[in-house]
Chain A
Amino acid sequence: MMADVHAGGGFRRQAVVSAVVLVVLAVLAVLAALPIAGDAYVLGVAARMMVFALFASSLNLVLGFAGMASLGHAVYFGVGAYTAAKLSLAGVSGFGLQLGMAGLAAAALAALFAPLILRASGAYLLMITLALAQVVWGIAYGWREFTGADDGLPGVRRPDSMLPWDISGDAGFYYLILLLFALLVAAMLVLTRSPFGLALVGIRENERRMAALGYPVGRYKYIACVLAGGMAGVAGAMLAWQNGFVGPSCLSVAYSATALIMVILGGAGTVFGPVIGAFLIVALENVISGLTERWMFVLGATYVLATLFAPEGLVGLWRRWAEHRS
């Protein structure tokens, strides 16, 4: 914000915006060009990056914009994944139907849980989100006939699309993921700059003032929870296609924590921060796992280092550095 005070701050701001636009376009171009190299492994990793970026972005909507932490966000991701998997195994192969049902199922669960979540704050908020997610996890883990218990649901097939290109191959499927990724990030950009998104930020910063100004604070937070749940469910369906398998671990607290660290590492409350965080964590996982078996140790160290040295995320670090320079 300091930069705006200086004469010429407007120019600098404009320069930053155009730099961000350039970087985003460059990243999209690289992602779009990846299938030319044609390596199935690289495509798989890139698709996983985008799926987790959407998962992290959905958490960011409640955590970063509305200011509500969660230790159970993976419940929506997992319910979306299971929904797509069950539909696929039942022979419903349309991608729009699978995606829509996954999003709806997760959003409906969020609509059910939100009244309980909205009452809590602080440590109790973390606990209630964890508890609700664990209940669903316990069902997924126990109900062998429906969810396959700890064996999960193998044999999930990639959906059929009405898109003009064939998505049964690796490259075609990858472009479907890329398209959904680009659309949903663009939707996040629009949503967070809309009056609704700005009101959420206002609620995060000072809930009582927003209530005094006449905003229906509770309803806004409720809608944010449902939207975030639905978006996580859509990402979950994409994970089910990508992996061809769904198991109870995608509902687990480990996945919820992974989404948290992606958001925090990148920068909560920014649209691109969680995307950067998710890309970095997934890339790091693949690089480190190729070098050593100690990935969990490195991941743990990432949590510790991010909390200590980058509490506002990489986007926050970059902003501070840019302000310092100007």
Chain B
Amino acid sequence: MSFWLYQLLAGLSFAMLLFISSAGLALIFGVMRVLNLAHGAFYAVGAWVAIALAGWTGSLLLAAMGGIATAMAIGFAIERILLSRTPAEELPQALLTFGIMLMLGDLALWIWGGTPRTLARPEWLSGPVRVAGIVFPSYRLFVIALGVTIAGLLWYLQARTRIGTMIRAAADDAETARGVGINVPRLSSGVFTVGAGLAALGGIVGGPIIGVHVGTELDVLLLSFVVVIIGGLGSLAGSFVGAIVVGLVDTLGKALLPDFALFTLFAPMALILALRPTGLFGRQQ
């Protein structure tokens, strides 16, 4: 019994980390219809910069803010300078962002070298706690709480605020949104920047658990794709459910079939795409 409870909690904490890391990808696709293959690179940038800043300043809060700000600045520049000049078609956008991922990944390798690093966890979250009879790391519970909080904030932002209404309008019909006076290009810049920042936050939250290494950007990108595909490209609620499915399947898969962890991860994605191409929560086109 305690084995299953432990796996469930571990799966949920991984799920919430996945949600934080992939929500930006869903948001960006929803509004801009851009498949952002550089998404995992923002995760890696957040983690690398935060680890470096934590080393210099000794403050995890400063490190987190610095990591997020760096990723947001890079995201903003990429959207304004490069993406806005790219034809609005899937393939050129995919190639451009894949190239950016390669460049950012190699830049990180150049600056920080090939040694995998982890971020220190805050002292008040470093110990284990007792939950329903099992001993569980408190940091992982914190990740679950943070993921739920961010999901709530994003839902509120999208469903209850003026900005959220504009985002939904642009996602539904960009042309009409323009027609009623919504500045869609500026909205796109904003969404892309926030999406990059969310990915960086994922990198920072994941920093003490999985850390960052050469190739993290591609690993995170593929995981995020599985999450947003299962939920439905462009749907935040979908990514939340997708993250929980992937988090549990992956954790159980690793516990029960360790050799085929990658297969158990990608097979559901292919299955969903084959049976229901728009995902569990995506709207039929």
B105 / chain A contacts, CB cutoff of 8 Å: 296, 300
Q: Are B262 and A137 in contact (CB under 8 A)?
A: yes
Give the complex CA separation of A143 and B225 in angstroms. Answer: 23
Give the complex CA separation of A46 and B102 in angstroms. Answer: 25
Near A by CB (< 8 A), chain B positions 77-117 give 82, 85-87, 90-92, 94-96, 98-107, 109-110
Closest to B33 in A: A123
Q: For this complex, into which size category does the number of interface residues on chain A fall?
A: 35 or more
Q: Closest CB-CB distance, A45 to chain B, in whole Å?
A: 21
B61 CB-CB contact with A under 8 Å: no
Q: Are A142 and B260 in contact (CB under 8 A)?
A: yes
Whether A138 contacts B35 in the complex (CB less than 8 A), given A144-B259, A304-B82, comes out as no
Closest to A295 in B: B106
From A69, A253, A296, contact of B106 by CB (8 A): A296
Q: Are A124 and B273 in contact (CB under 8 A)?
A: yes
Near B by CB (< 8 A), chain A positions 123-146 give 123-128, 130-132, 134-135, 137-139, 141-144
Q: Which of A119, A122, A296, A301 has the most CB of B within 10 A?
A: A296
B182 CB-CB contact with A under 8 Å: no
Q: Which of A141, A142, A260 has the most CB of B within 10 A?
A: A142
* B interface residues, tally (CB under 8 Å): 46
From A125, A134, A311, contact of B92 by CB (8 A): A311
Q: Closest CB-CB distance, A108 to chain B, in whole Å?
A: 17
B86 / chain A contacts, CB cutoff of 8 Å: 307-308
Q: Are B100 and A135 in contact (CB under 8 A)?
A: no
Q: Closest CB-CB distance, B135 to chain A, in whole Å?
A: 31
Near A by CB (< 8 A), chain B positions 123-179 give none
Whether A297 contacts B106 in the complex (CB less than 8 A), given A141-B262, A142-B259, comes out as yes
A141 / chain B contacts, CB cutoff of 8 Å: 262
B264 / chain A contacts, CB cutoff of 8 Å: 138
A299 CB-CB contact with B under 8 Å: yes
A293 / chain B contacts, CB cutoff of 8 Å: 110
B233 / chain A contacts, CB cutoff of 8 Å: 123-124, 127
Q: Closest CB-CB distance, A76 to chain B, in whole Å?
A: 16
Q: Are B225 and A138 in contact (CB under 8 A)?
A: no
A303 CB-CB contact with B under 8 Å: yes
Interface of B, helix, strand, loop or mixed by DSSP: helix
Whether A130 contacts B225 in the complex (CB less than 8 A), given A123-B33, A304-B82, comes out as yes
Q: Are A143 and B102 in contact (CB under 8 A)?
A: no
Q: Closest CB-CB distance, B161 to chain A, in whole Å?
A: 27
B259 / chain A contacts, CB cutoff of 8 Å: 142-144, 149
Near A by CB (< 8 A), chain B positions 188-240 give 218, 222, 225-226, 229, 233
Q: Are A301 and B99 in contact (CB under 8 A)?
A: yes
Whether A304 contacts B262 in the complex (CB less than 8 A), given A123-B35, A253-B222, comes out as no
From A119, A126, A135, A307, contact of B90 by CB (8 A): A126
From A120, A126, A142, A299, contact of B91 by CB (8 A): A126
Give the complex CA separation of A306 and B99 in angstroms. Answer: 10
A261 CB-CB contact with B under 8 Å: yes
B87 / chain A contacts, CB cutoff of 8 Å: 311
B277 CB-CB contact with A under 8 Å: yes
From A124, A135, A253, A257, contact of B267 by CB (8 A): A135
Q: Mark B245-275, 1 if CB is under 8 A from A, else 0.
A: 0000000000000011111111101100110
Q: Closest CB-CB distance, A176 to chain B, in whole Å?
A: 33
B14 CB-CB contact with A under 8 Å: no
From A119, A127, A138, A297, contact of B262 by CB (8 A): A138
Q: Are A135 and B274 in contact (CB under 8 A)?
A: no
Give the complex CA separation of A299 and B100 in angstroms. Answer: 10
Whether A304 contacts B99 in the complex (CB less than 8 A), given A126-B94, A135-B267, comes out as yes
Q: Are B101 and A138 in contact (CB under 8 A)?
A: no
A239 / chain B contacts, CB cutoff of 8 Å: none
A134 / chain B contacts, CB cutoff of 8 Å: 222, 262, 266, 269-270
B76 CB-CB contact with A under 8 Å: no
B29 CB-CB contact with A under 8 Å: yes
Give the complex CA separation of A138 and B226 in angstroms. Answer: 13
Q: Closest CB-CB distance, B259 to chain A, in whole Å?
A: 4
- B interface residues, Cβ below 8 angstroms from A: 29, 33, 35, 82, 85-87, 90-92, 94-96, 98-107, 109-110, 218, 222, 225-226, 229, 233, 259-267, 269-270, 273-274, 277-278
7 further A-B contacts with Cβ under 8 Å, apart from A127-B225, A135-B267, A260-B91, are A123-B33, A124-B277, A135-B263, A138-B264, A303-B98, A307-B99, A308-B96
**30 pairs, A vs B, C-beta closer than 8 Å:** A69-B90, A71-B94, A116-B270, A116-B274, A120-B277, A123-B90, A124-B273, A124-B278, A125-B90, A126-B35, A127-B233, A131-B225, A134-B262, A138-B266, A142-B259, A143-B259, A261-B95, A261-B99, A264-B95, A294-B106, A299-B99, A300-B101, A300-B103, A300-B106, A304-B96, A304-B99, A304-B103, A307-B86, A307-B99, A308-B96
Interchain residue pairs A-B with the least CB separation, the first 6: A303-B99, A300-B102, A138-B262, A300-B103, A138-B263, A296-B106
